[in-house]
Structure 1
Amino acid sequence: MADSDSDDELPGGWEERTTPNGRVYYANHAERSTQWTHPRTGKTKQLVGNLPEGWQRNTLDDGRVCFVNDVTSQVSLTDPRLAFAVEQASPSSSNANQPRQRFDASSKALQVLSGEDLTGKTVLITGANSGIGFETARSLAAHNAHIVMACRNISAAERAKLRIEEEKHSAEVDVILCDLASLASVRQCARTFLTKGWSLDVLILNAAYMGPFELSEDGYEMSFAVNHLGHAYLTRLLLDRLKASAPARVVILSSESHRFLLSPINSADDITTSRLSPSHAKDYWFMDAYGTSKLCNLLYALALNRRIIGDRVVVNAVHPGNMVVTNLARRSCALRCLFQLARPFTKTMQQAAASVVLAAAAVDFATVGGQYINNCWFSKPSPICFDLSAQEKLWTLTEALLAQFDPDIIHQSSSS
């Protein structure tokens, strides 16, 4: 992938500076001149949002403005938001509303969110008590978002909530029970959320299962039940609230594992109930089941985005990183060992959460939908994901399975 920051590199002798009101300008020390436009790109920039967490603006005795980090005691004459200034494209430009790559695989969630103020935004995250889900919740809460942790393990979720509140005393965090292996629990989670009267600005479908063959409470293979079906049901139940909160976003965590299946799904005909949700353990391999469920996440994200983008709700799928050490591998000793061996070469939790918060909160991604995001930028998924017939077959199958449990889904579908 090309270096996205090469155009931003200033020529020798140039310096980037900011005015008190946040406008970026450029100083040419060789000619002792200044200008508003970048000397290479010809574009202007503007600082956005509040100062990052822990930074304060002060004035020195000589009248100069400085920035002090209360946590590290660092003092800087440069506004810390300058590294993440946003280009101001011309309204007539065809790229005026297009995002620009500013981050990559090494970026951290808090860097992506630098300068963002999410006050008034409510974000529901499944599986937010540990791993990438927790890091996502922690990062968003640090930027004033109201976090709703929808988790199967309430005691673990309460401990995670306390950790976030200890870091940021003003953090607004709530916990709701949600066991994605039980459609009844998912329905109750949605009812509890809706009863609270909260908006739903961002829905992050993060929780996942990977492990030995097991059936859910409703009789489906566990990877399919938790990773796809339970999340699809939760989304359907909260869809009206998302639309009422628009502009809103849905972020579905997928995985590069969707590419590596024992028997690849190459057409709509390959999507069947027996293929996606085997009812017995014969020939079951947990990695294949996991990869299949992650392919479902992608197909569903694209199908859902086409249906609701007109309501100003965008849907994107995200790959957080390969073999990130989380609780996902806890059911397999061999897999835990493999993840630990790979740990020095994989992303940290902050890096894994970066693509998630980019899709969830970055200003320039507010109207971007129907994408697969990896390493904080667009990535091409498996070719089958672009097959509309495959998307629709999975959508129809999902609706039919949910309707067996909740017949009202049929009526919701006809009115959507």
Structure 2
Amino acid sequence: MPGTIIITGANGSLAVPATQLLLAKYPDHTLILTARNPQTINKPNGNHSVHVRKLDLADLSAVHAFATTIISDIQTGKLPPLTSIVCNAFYWNLRSKPESTDDGYEKTFQVNHIAHAALVLRLLGHFDRVSGGRVVLFSSDAHWPGKNGLEKYPPKIPEGDDLETLVKPPAHAEAKSDHMGRGFQRYATSKLAIVMWMYALNRHLEADLALNKITAVAVNPGNLTDSRALRVNTPPLLTIMSLFVIRPFLFLLRRFVDPTMRTSAEAAADIVEFATRSHSNTDSPEDRTVGYYTLGNKDISSPDSLDEAKQEALWAKTLQWARISSEDMALLPA
């Protein structure tokens, strides 16, 4: 059933072709395109089903205010109920030491995981009650230690009280000046957290009779050769390689080096099908398509991501970090 689709980071490399494809293939849906700087989003002229709104994921108060506005707009009929939330926005910094947001959290982890979790949890009660909906989260092969060529230090979710180091890294965490190695580790760890949280979210949704028609997927969209990420907050060498090696020789690299290398437009086609729940899955005739995907194919996530005890520990901490109380979300308490 057509409804509202929210896309975060709607000015990003994948979001632009995804928006174009949604408008062409699923014009009955209402799109909410968000970005920290909304003026960077090109809204189609004269299309009243497309709304551009400001959303700064590095500011949790702004995330909660945005969610409150969306809830009000749905309740008053200004927007149809949600069909999906596409958590496309992301952040990394491979050029400097860890950065903290005004909320006091490490920026990569907050933008990629905590803020999206806050947004999703606030809005779960405002999907279509009959048809449900889909939460599309973005992961990466980087979440699996040893799979990404940029990895120098493997991603890891600590145990117990050490979970707090994810949002407040110790001062000695940045070894000398290896900003690229540690910055990529922070990015990869956030992607591991996203996968683990997705599994926990699906368990909580499935146990809730009022919300069990909502499903979540974590998708590795592939290593996107034309991604803006290769030009922002990255060392010059990586940008040069992107322009003069990766993009020109995509065909050869995809065939002989990394079969997941592709363009943002190719990845966008998969994401649109997940967001509209048009993705076919013969194992889930009732659209219980959940779990981890590489490109458009069901896949197995890393062994670390499958640790259910760690998933639940991360779930509980995420509620605290995201400042979500039982009154803030429709999910029943565990």
TM bin, normalised by shorter chain, reads: 0.7 to 0.9
Q: How does 1:35-50 map to 2 (within 5 A)?
A: none
Match of 1:205 in 2: 87
**Residue 148 (1) aligns with residue 51 (2):** no
**Offset, 1:266:** 7.2
Q: Paired residues, what number?
A: 289
Superimposed CA distance per residue, residues 271-296 of structure 1 (whole angstroms, 9 cap, x where no aligned partner): 61114541546336110000000111
Structure 1 CA distance for aligned equivalents of residues 103 and 311 of structure 2: 24
**Offset, 1:206:** 0.5
Structure 1 CA distance for aligned equivalents of residues 132 and 331 of structure 2: 21
Q: 1:321 aligns with which of 197, 222, 230?
A: 222
Q: Which runs of 5 or more residues in structure 2 are unaligned?
A: 146-150, 251-260
Name whichever structure is richer in strand by fraction: 1
Give the partner amino acid of 2:165: S
**Residue 272 (1) aligns with residue 174 (2):** no
Structure 2 CA distance for aligned equivalents of residues 266 and 193 of structure 1: 32
What TM-score, normalized to structure 2? 0.78
Q: Which runs of 5 or more residues in structure 1 are unaligned?
A: 1-117
Q: How does 1:209-288 map to 2 (within 5 A)?
A: 209-211=91-93, 212=96, 213-242=98-127, 244=129, 246-260=131-145, 262-265=153-156, 268=159, 272-275=163-166, 277-278=168-169, 280=171, 282-283=174-175, 285-288=182-185
- Asked if the contact 2:14–2:267 (Cα under 8 Å) also holds between the matched residues in 1, the reply is yes
Structure 2 CA distance for aligned equivalents of residues 402 and 170 of structure 1: 34
The 1:255/1:411 distance shift into structure 2, 3 A limit, reads closer
The 1:204/1:134 distance shift into structure 2, 3 A limit, reads same
Match of 1:385 in 2: 305
What TM-score, normalized to structure 1? 0.64
Structure 1 CA distance for aligned equivalents of residues 85 and 219 of structure 2: 13
The 1:306/1:342 distance shift into structure 2, 3 A limit, reads same
Deviates more, 1:341-350 or 1:358-367: 358-367
Structure 2 CA distance for aligned equivalents of residues 204 and 390 of structure 1: 25
What secondary structure, in the 3-state scheme, does the structure 2 residue paired with 1:316 have? strand
Match of 2:197 in 1: 300
Q: 1:399 aligns with which of 311, 319, 322?
A: 319
Match of 2:63 in 1: 186
CA RMSD after TM alignment: 2.6
- Asked if the contact 1:128–1:207 (Cα under 8 Å) also holds between the matched residues in 2, the reply is yes
Q: 1:172 aligns with which of 28, 49, 72?
A: 49
Question: Percent identity over the alignment?
Answer: 28
Superimposed CA distance per residue, residues 141-196 of structure 1 (whole angstroms, 9 cap, x where no aligned partner): 21212211121111112xx213xx4xxx6572101111000001111111221222
The structure with more radius of gyration: 1
The 1:312/1:414 distance shift into structure 2, 3 A limit, reads closer
- Asked if the contact 2:205–2:215 (Cα under 8 Å) also holds between the matched residues in 1, the reply is yes
**Offset, 1:410:** 7.4
Structure 1 CA distance for aligned equivalents of residues 82 and 319 of structure 2: 22
Structure 2 CA distance for aligned equivalents of residues 317 and 367 of structure 1: 15
- Asked if the contact 1:320–1:354 (Cα under 8 Å) also holds between the matched residues in 2, the reply is no
Structure 2 CA distance for aligned equivalents of residues 183 and 291 of structure 1: 22
